[in-house]
Structure 1
């Protein structure tokens, strides 16, 4: 149950008066507004039993489905409304989002333009841009000159910045993480006048950290898609060069590319390799690369990085030079935790949505996958699909994937890296946290037994002390 006094009171009132349709509908809408999607879905379903034809209940349930990436379910529940030519424009907009999630771009475009034509206030520039085909000129580099950020910077019309096809609706769970990114990165671009009134400009940096496979890269792409911004993903091979000075030039060229494509999300994966502690470095040229990175984050001119949103991801935040956490650089560190049970069920639903399925109980699979991250769950689905393919070949027809198929694989699989990662994190939380940098990890560390755990220390969430 959500930890919210107002919602708790509404839920208790609904329990005492289960046939009160306005009350149930209000509770469902409040849950949806605050992002408690699974609970909102449950309440909308209960309201739908009381009023099967209520358009507000139907569209509310459809929105809960869309925001959980259950696009097929959303289209199914909207179908009776959409059959009426005079349906509410909001229903058409939700259908557009669901159709886009299902890969039907043309159908989504028709629904979107019809909805906006009847209600211009529903216009969504980010969604409209995703529905507009983007030309992708192909200019292959000569075989003797591999393409690098330095090469690309010499072309003023480079097309290396991509457009992300995913949004936060495609990211299961992690509501707190998504909200942090909205406030820090997205809202200053979407509502510049409001932020300008407080002297805040669009731009800045966020460092995503957590165990491997938890979805940091997927989250960065979703942030770009949510904003409708250009997305530039930077790997080590794009920056590091064997010749002294070349790595710094490549880094500078990458930032210049992002500034030309603003608003832009510039994403550095495995950033600890580019931003390591200078005190640990033996060679001067490697320290110079860190200095160059810091200079680019600051911007040579006052507004140089306005509209450039810098995201970085790492599995080892404790190895990053402390100077990167100074305000104006990566001044916000966001922990991307292993998914909880409801998030694991949502991830499984997304991974299975394009496959032939029997009636699935994703919650049952989520219960036996404690400690699994998104990458582990994808491995479970992939192995279950391989087994089902072999059975289908023998049967001569496609056989639907079942809950038991997933359970069989999940019970024979061990999670990859969460336990080891939390073991390392524990050392820093207990013995190297004088600055409070790792307070966010405290709820994930079981200080009483000395072992890492997924459920330990829940009562200490948000505490600032040591124990």
Structure 2
């Protein structure tokens, strides 16, 4: 046993040697030292203390479930006592009448044979983790087979990706996007007009493929706009984020990305939305020694449509930091059009505020005044203003015991307490627009900063 009492289950009791006692003290001082514990178990097994050896091997396996030495030692300990390696094999002695004459045949081989592994697993299930015991069958330990390259599922299954149909409940259109007239006009020219007018598209040689990069401050509706484009086109929609693509196994990230585009080609017309493009398509100069470089290369290949036809596949990408995106992704034929999505203008703020207040009890709300004081707020900021105003009215009602409505005072107080989340973004973007505007990529951003007097 663990406490050092002699083991009589495997044969005559044997006194514990001073070396075993010293090792027990060392293991007690360093319980996490697996090799030391296994050495103690080996000596216990050789000395005939089978139960104590099983217990020590079990503790070792709980700390290192995949340790091959610990597994082998556990198998030998469960199989029965074996003579010390250095001791000569004793000559057979006359056995008493009651002693079975076939005792040596009871020792099973370490793997397979007639050993009852299921019974052995039940015997030590209190000290071994399930990962060790669950894989045992009657013929020895078995490991559950892993898919090829460690993949968690069949990448060829199109249902592995969430393809939203155009007639899905709750599908949105550009009419549901408040304001943003300029954004809608750019989308109309890039995607919508060619799709609605096949004759004109054929006349002017406009292909049904393309890519558009949406960038701007966080919380300004880039994802919502992408869904609205899919609804306007009557197309399927696939939203792709970094957790849908990246995999710990070499080559799986590229395969996942390829399957996303293959699914989109099968489901064309389809809008593929690449969220947080700076994570999936970071500059390769910064990822030279990581697996992400190959993922960016794969993305470039998919956008080119090498070996495949991308007609009917519209790629929309969004990022808050376009200056961190690999420049090759933005060349003509890939994400060749760039659209700045700014904080909502006056009409858009009015629509957003009405949306977030529509199901709340309100009275005498001066929306025009609220729209004026929320200049520069993102859509997420406006939602937070409405939430904070509702919290204030709820708390006041709980304190007084009288339910009251949300009023202009609550909303103005909430707006005053909320700092626009777009300000840090513009502080960082200002330097890029002024000093890193190669080729006029950020002319649109520079013009807005001048107009808003943020320079």
Which residue of 399, 404, 411 corresponds with 1:406?
411
- The reply to whether residue 189 of structure 1 matches residue 187 of structure 2 is no
Which residue of 241, 251, 271 corresponds with 1:245?
251
Which residue of 297, 310, 321 corresponds with 1:316?
321
Q: What is the aligned partner in structure 1 of residue 435 from structure 2?
A: 431
> What is the DSSP-based 3-state SS (H/G/I as helix, E as strand, rest coil) of the residue aligned with 1:205?
strand
Report the CA distance shift for 1:198/1:246 in structure 2 as closer, same or farther (over 3 A). same
- The reply to whether residue 454 of structure 1 matches residue 452 of structure 2 is yes
> What is the DSSP-based 3-state SS (H/G/I as helix, E as strand, rest coil) of the residue aligned with 1:329?
coil
Q: What is the aligned partner in structure 1 of residue 423 from structure 2?
A: 419
Matches of 2:152 and 2:186 in 1, distance apart?
Answer: 33
Q: What is the aligned partner in structure 1 of residue 105 from structure 2?
A: none
Q: What is the aligned partner in structure 2 of residue 221 from structure 1?
A: 227
Does the 8 Å CA contact 1:150/1:254 hold for their aligned counterparts?
no
- The reply to whether residue 173 of structure 1 matches residue 171 of structure 2 is no
Matches of 2:290 and 2:420 in 1, distance apart?
Answer: 40
Q: What is the aligned partner in structure 1 of residue 284 from structure 2?
A: 278
Q: What is the aligned partner in structure 1 of residue 334 from structure 2?
A: 329
Trace 1:29-428 onto structure 2 (pairs within 5 A): 151=153, 153-156=155-158, 160-162=162-164, 163=168, 165-283=171-289, 285-301=291-307, 304-393=309-398, 399-416=404-421, 418-428=422-432
1:129-178 residue CA offsets vs partner (Å, 9 max, x unmatched): xxxxxxxxxxxxxxx99xx9984642256672114621112211111111
Q: What is the aligned partner in structure 2 of residue 443 from structure 1?
A: 447
Residue 420 of structure 1 and its aligned partner are, at CA, apart by 1.5
Residue 373 of structure 1 and its aligned partner are, at CA, apart by 0.5
**Which is further off, 226-235 or 249-258?**
226-235
Matches of 1:317 and 1:388 in 2, distance apart?
Answer: 40
CA RMSD of aligned residues (A): 2.5
> What is the DSSP-based 3-state SS (H/G/I as helix, E as strand, rest coil) of the residue aligned with 2:311?
coil
Report the CA distance shift for 1:252/1:149 in structure 2 as closer, same or farther (over 3 A). farther
Report the CA distance shift for 1:284/1:316 in structure 2 as closer, same or farther (over 3 A). same
Matches of 2:177 and 2:241 in 1, distance apart?
Answer: 22
Matches of 1:439 and 1:279 in 2, distance apart?
Answer: 25
Report the CA distance shift for 1:402/1:149 in structure 2 as closer, same or farther (over 3 A). farther
1:367-391 residue CA offsets vs partner (Å, 9 max, x unmatched): 1112210011111111111222334
Report the CA distance shift for 1:149/1:322 in structure 2 as closer, same or farther (over 3 A). farther
1:232-284 residue CA offsets vs partner (Å, 9 max, x unmatched): 11111001111111110010011111112111111011111111111222316
Matches of 2:306 and 2:152 in 1, distance apart?
Answer: 19
1:303-346 residue CA offsets vs partner (Å, 9 max, x unmatched): x1111111110000011111111111100000001122332222
Does the 8 Å CA contact 1:388/1:399 hold for their aligned counterparts?
yes
Does the 8 Å CA contact 1:153/1:256 hold for their aligned counterparts?
no
Matches of 1:151 and 1:329 in 2, distance apart?
Answer: 30
Does the 8 Å CA contact 1:153/1:254 hold for their aligned counterparts?
no
| Number of corresponding residues | 304
Matches of 2:160 and 2:254 in 1, distance apart?
Answer: 20
Matches of 1:381 and 1:356 in 2, distance apart?
Answer: 11
Does the 8 Å CA contact 1:298/1:329 hold for their aligned counterparts?
yes
> What is the DSSP-based 3-state SS (H/G/I as helix, E as strand, rest coil) of the residue aligned with 2:189?
helix
Q: What is the aligned partner in structure 2 of residue 39 from structure 1?
A: none
Matches of 1:260 and 1:149 in 2, distance apart?
Answer: 22
1:413-440 residue CA offsets vs partner (Å, 9 max, x unmatched): 2112x22211211111111113110101
Q: Which has the higher helix share?
A: 1
Does the 8 Å CA contact 2:151/2:249 hold for their aligned counterparts?
no
Q: What is the aligned partner in structure 2 of residue 125 from structure 1?
A: none
Report the CA distance shift for 1:158/1:430 in structure 2 as closer, same or farther (over 3 A). closer
Structure 2 residue runs without a partner (length 5+): 1-145
User: What TM-score, normalized to structure 2?
Assistant: 0.62
> What is the DSSP-based 3-state SS (H/G/I as helix, E as strand, rest coil) of the residue aligned with 2:335?
coil
User: What TM-score, normalized to structure 1?
Assistant: 0.61
Does the 8 Å CA contact 1:236/1:273 hold for their aligned counterparts?
yes
